[in-house]
Structure 1
Amino acid sequence: MFKTFTTLLVIACSCGGYAQVEQEVNPPGYIKSISFQGQTRESQLPILQLGQQLNLEFDALNGDEDDYYYKIEHFDYDWTRSQLMQTEYLNGIDNQRIRDYENSFNTYQIYSHYKLRLPNEQTRGLKVSGNYMIKIYNDFDQLIFSRKFMVQENLASVGVSIKRSRDVRKVETMQSVDIVINSGNMQFNNPAQTVKTVIIQNNNLNTAIRDVPPQYTIGNELIYKYTHETLFEGGNEYFYFENKDIRGANSAIQFIELHELYSNYLFTNVPRFNQPYTYNPDINGNYLVTAIDTEKPYIEADYAWMHFSLLMKELPANQSVHVYGNFNNYAISKFTKMTFNPNQGIYQVPIILKQGFYNFKYVIVDNRTGAISESAIGGSYWQTENDYKVLVYYRDLGARYDRIIGIGEGNSVNISN
């Protein structure tokens, strides 16, 4: 009997170990300009209210007019698959072909532009809140790329305020996020265990702070006023360029060449980690596709090779420099890696991008651990203007999935001590 119990225990532990944390899959090189937004189209990280519309658009640069299919999956707070069956979270069916696409018009780079709207005739809506992932497959059922999104119920109010660090050693470089969650008509049961938060800076899930428990409970309010647990690097304002006129240089573009495609050479940037903070308006890492003299920029905007360069000494072999921004979902890949040019003493890389307005920064990556340092080149300053979002998850006792019951937003433009 003891042997049987031990065997069952081992099986149970083994099954628990298969709870795999889902990661987003980055697209191949011919998939570009993935735009994933909610109904208000204000963000590259869709966080929508239950019942709102979701928009996914992307370009395929291979010119083959391939067929693509989408699937939707539901996840718990920690991005492991939830216990819900598809019929419990999805109204309708998925694994449907994306039917709305158009080919580019009057462009050097041939591409097909795909659009997906949810809900639609086949997928009529989502039934519950929480974490979701949409996966795009090709004709051979091969996963091309995936993107995360969140759906919330707006049941609790979430107040967010941005403060300078309470730790005097970090007061010049860090920003602290204070949170007040008011449950309203809901009754939180054991909030230290059932309520979880995710704090996101500039729509970048890579740097999000997770699983910080409430510090105090006062009536129906949960208070978070930590010294260290909710600290973010202030970072620096993003660099930018705009090439809506692909044939004309502007303040960020040094010169232009035309070969098979246009090549836009940006002015060489310099590190700013040891310089005084200077305010420079940005859109906090996002991008916008736009082109002059076009009625439909999503199919009339062209692609160009954007040549990035950074004046900096060569790093050790275990470190690399990458171009970083929401234009590729803050992904580190071979396409964003810069190479050192010893003749000019600069790092450089060409990246093919659609016409528009782009924010970007340079980061250093540890090649052994994959750790990203955003401030090693750009510096970190408490004055930097950043957007913050706070998602509040709740799983009541006995519940089978994690709901998102509220979202709060704040901006450091009104930062205080």
Structure 2
Amino acid sequence: MPLKFTALLSILLVSYIAFSQVEEVAPPDYIKTINFKGNTPETQLPILRLGEYVILEFDVLNGEEDDYYYKVEHFNFDWTPSVLVKSEYMDGFDNQRIRNYENSFNSYQIYSHYTLTIPNAQTRGLRVSGNYMLSVFNNDDELVFSRKFMIYENTATVGVNVKRSRDVQFIEEKQRIEIIIDSNTMQFNNPTQNVKAVIVQNNNLNTAISNIKPQYTVGNQLIYKYDTETSFWGGNEYLFFENKDVRAANTGIQSIDLKDLYHNYLFTNFERATRPYTYNPDINGNYVILNIDAENPSIEADYVWIHFSLLPIESLKNKDIHVYGNFNNYVIDESTKMIFDESHNVYTNAILLKQGFYNYKYIVANSDNSIDEGAISGNFYQTENNYKVIVYYRDLGGRYDKIIGLGEGSSVNISN
């Protein structure tokens, strides 16, 4: 192969890698309960206003009290690396050790609870809005896990309305999002190219609809009233359980057992896709760490083996069925896969989770890596879902994508 061609190929390959979309890295088995603390008790997608504190927490279950380090990187709206250097988006330094950690207290499962707060003495703050990735490394500079978060400026108002689908074929199953973006402090230049909206259902970036452009403008207002481009499957309300007291059967828990750790056995669930919709309030896939008679659940809540069970479904006999929720950032892997127990004629799985209140549902993972949330739970337009709209803007001559506004809506008052 000619030397010039080899060099050109190398440059193109490096360019592709450098400008490809970044993905979150899931943690190893011994790291659990990764969450960003915000203004709500439950763990949600971290979208913070510029100047607010970023607080990341996680537990390490190996009992070794290892040192961990963090790095913060800035990205464009499509999660490709931005051209900004660190000094442009960060005041201070990253690649610092996470200094704040405590060991668990009065728990069967030994763990260390780590807390990272930004700003801190070394990383004094983040200067600009946009997409960020927070990566955690071990002593050997090996990436352990990474999580996305966003910082926004409140320079635009974002109105969000949830409507029923206009497509008669899906009118009973889908929800459609209408958006109006306006600003009294800025003028949108060439909005069809420079303004991009992302719609997130129930804090799940995996199913987000991105790069939505304005349909038309009225003065300085940007209007989005698409029929299909902004439509989501309605899904169904999440199932839930609570085990803040591991010594007693709480909501959703049928029985308990104590072996090396506590084991909680949930009531066996059934498919809901062919049954009528039933309203059952949930927290849209999220979770809250709780335990009874404790001052600090972060270090006093114990880890419990949660045993899930699902009655078999003939139509999904050869499909991969998984437990799904924000308890592991909506990751699908071997730890979430349901296994068919022929002796009891039921699908089962056990997942180690920290005490609290959890939402979950069962989904089908397809061979093309897509998921079908409605195959077991069903899709209903009446389902109460939360929608967040993140608005990105790059002005003429701008070097990065700002997040200029955040809108939020619920389908609880869905209309035609």
Q: TM-score, normalised by structure 2?
A: 0.96
- Partner of residue 374, structure 1: 373
Q: Does the 8 Å contact 1:175/1:233 carry over to 2?
A: yes
Q: Which runs of 5+ in 1 are unaligned?
A: none
Against the structure 1 CA distance between its residues 184 and 329, is the aligned structure 2 distance closer, same or farther, given a 3 Å change threshold? same
Q: Distance in 1 between matches of 2:81 and 2:262?
A: 44
Q: Does the 8 Å contact 1:48/1:152 carry over to 2?
A: yes
> Cα offset for 1:318?
6.4
Q: Distance in 2 between matches of 1:315 and 1:235?
A: 19
Q: Deviations over 1:348-384 (max 9, x none)?
A: 1000001100000000001x31110000000000100
What amino acid sits opposite 2:22 in the alignment?
E
- Matched residue count: 414
Give the ranges of 4+ consecutive aligned residues of structure 1 lying more than 4 Å apart after TM superposition.
Answer: 5-16, 39-43, 314-318
- Partner of residue 147, structure 1: 147
Q: Does the 8 Å contact 2:41/2:288 carry over to 1?
A: no
Against the structure 1 CA distance between its residues 11 and 347, is the aligned structure 2 distance closer, same or farther, given a 3 Å change threshold? closer
Q: Distance in 2 between matches of 1:214 and 1:140?
A: 47
- Partner of residue 385, structure 1: 384
Q: Distance in 1 between matches of 2:38 and 2:308?
A: 30
- Partner of residue 400, structure 1: 399
Q: Which runs of 5+ in 2 are unaligned?
A: none
Question: Superposed, which structure 2 residues align to 1:150-229 within 5 Å?
Answer: 150-229=150-229
> Cα offset for 1:319?
2.8
Q: Distance in 1 between matches of 2:401 and 2:143?
A: 26
Q: Does the 8 Å contact 1:39/1:55 carry over to 2?
A: no
Q: Distance in 2 between matches of 1:41 and 1:74?
A: 27
Q: Deviations over 1:290-316 (max 9, x none)?
A: 000111111111111000000013677
Q: Does the 8 Å contact 2:391/2:406 carry over to 1?
A: yes
Q: Does the 8 Å contact 2:47/2:152 carry over to 1?
A: yes
- Partner of residue 59, structure 1: 59
Q: Distance in 2 between matches of 1:363 and 1:346?
A: 16
> Cα offset for 1:24?
0.2
What amino acid sits opposite 2:99 in the alignment?
R
Q: Name the SS for the 2:334 alignment partner.
A: coil
| Higher mean displacement: 42-51 or 257-266 | 42-51
Question: Superposed, which structure 2 residues align to 1:84-103 within 5 Å?
Answer: 84-103=84-103
Q: Distance in 2 between matches of 1:172 and 1:259?
A: 46
Q: Distance in 2 between matches of 1:129 and 1:375?
A: 35
Against the structure 1 CA distance between its residues 317 and 270, is the aligned structure 2 distance closer, same or farther, given a 3 Å change threshold? closer
Q: Distance in 1 between matches of 2:212 and 2:345?
A: 44
> Cα offset for 1:41?
5.2
> Cα offset for 1:168?
1.4
> Cα offset for 1:324?
0.4
Q: Deviations over 1:192-228 (max 9, x none)?
A: 1110010000000000001111111110000000110
Q: Distance in 2 between matches of 1:255 and 1:227?
A: 47
Question: Superposed, which structure 2 residues align to 1:46-85 within 5 Å?
Answer: 46-85=46-85
Against the structure 1 CA distance between its residues 8 and 247, is the aligned structure 2 distance closer, same or farther, given a 3 Å change threshold? closer
Q: Distance in 1 between matches of 2:315 and 2:142?
A: 37
Q: Does the 8 Å contact 1:164/1:416 carry over to 2?
A: yes
> Cα offset for 1:333?
1.3
RMSD: 2.0
Q: Does the 8 Å contact 2:35/2:43 carry over to 1?
A: no
Q: Name the SS for the 1:87 alignment partner.
A: helix
Against the structure 1 CA distance between its residues 107 and 320, is the aligned structure 2 distance closer, same or farther, given a 3 Å change threshold? same
Against the structure 1 CA distance between its residues 12 and 221, is the aligned structure 2 distance closer, same or farther, given a 3 Å change threshold? farther
Q: Distance in 2 between matches of 1:408 and 1:211?
A: 16
Q: Distance in 2 between matches of 1:266 and 1:95?
A: 42
1:321 equivalent to 2:321? Answer yes
Q: Does the 8 Å contact 2:42/2:287 carry over to 1?
A: no
Q: Name the SS for the 2:265 alignment partner.
A: strand
Q: Distance in 2 between matches of 1:302 and 1:211?
A: 42
What amino acid sits opposite 2:149 in the alignment?
F
Q: Distance in 1 between matches of 2:314 and 2:335?
A: 19
Question: Superposed, which structure 2 residues align to 1:1-80 within 5 Å?
Answer: 16-18=15-17, 19-39=19-39, 43-80=43-80
Q: Name the SS for the 1:284 alignment partner.
A: coil
- Partner of residue 125, structure 1: 125
1:263 equivalent to 2:263? Answer yes
Against the structure 1 CA distance between its residues 11 and 307, is the aligned structure 2 distance closer, same or farther, given a 3 Å change threshold? closer
Against the structure 1 CA distance between its residues 38 and 250, is the aligned structure 2 distance closer, same or farther, given a 3 Å change threshold? closer
Q: Does the 8 Å contact 2:388/2:408 carry over to 1?
A: yes
| Higher mean displacement: 116-125 or 16-25 | 16-25
Percent pairwise identity: 61
- Partner of residue 302, structure 1: 302
Q: Distance in 1 between matches of 2:15 and 2:114?
A: 39
> Cα offset for 1:344?
1.8
Q: Name the SS for the 1:298 alignment partner.
A: helix
Q: Distance in 1 between matches of 2:10 and 2:27?
A: 36
> Cα offset for 1:183?
2.6
> Cα offset for 1:37?
2.9
Q: Distance in 2 between matches of 1:257 and 1:87?
A: 53
> Cα offset for 1:10?
7.4
What amino acid sits opposite 1:274 in the alignment?
T
> Cα offset for 1:13?
5.4
Q: Name the SS for the 2:335 alignment partner.
A: coil
Question: Superposed, which structure 2 residues align to 1:321-360 within 5 Å?
Answer: 321-360=321-360
Q: Does the 8 Å contact 2:42/2:288 carry over to 1?
A: no
> Cα offset for 1:36?
1.2
Q: Name the SS for the 1:335 alignment partner.
A: helix
Q: Name the SS for the 1:244 alignment partner.
A: coil
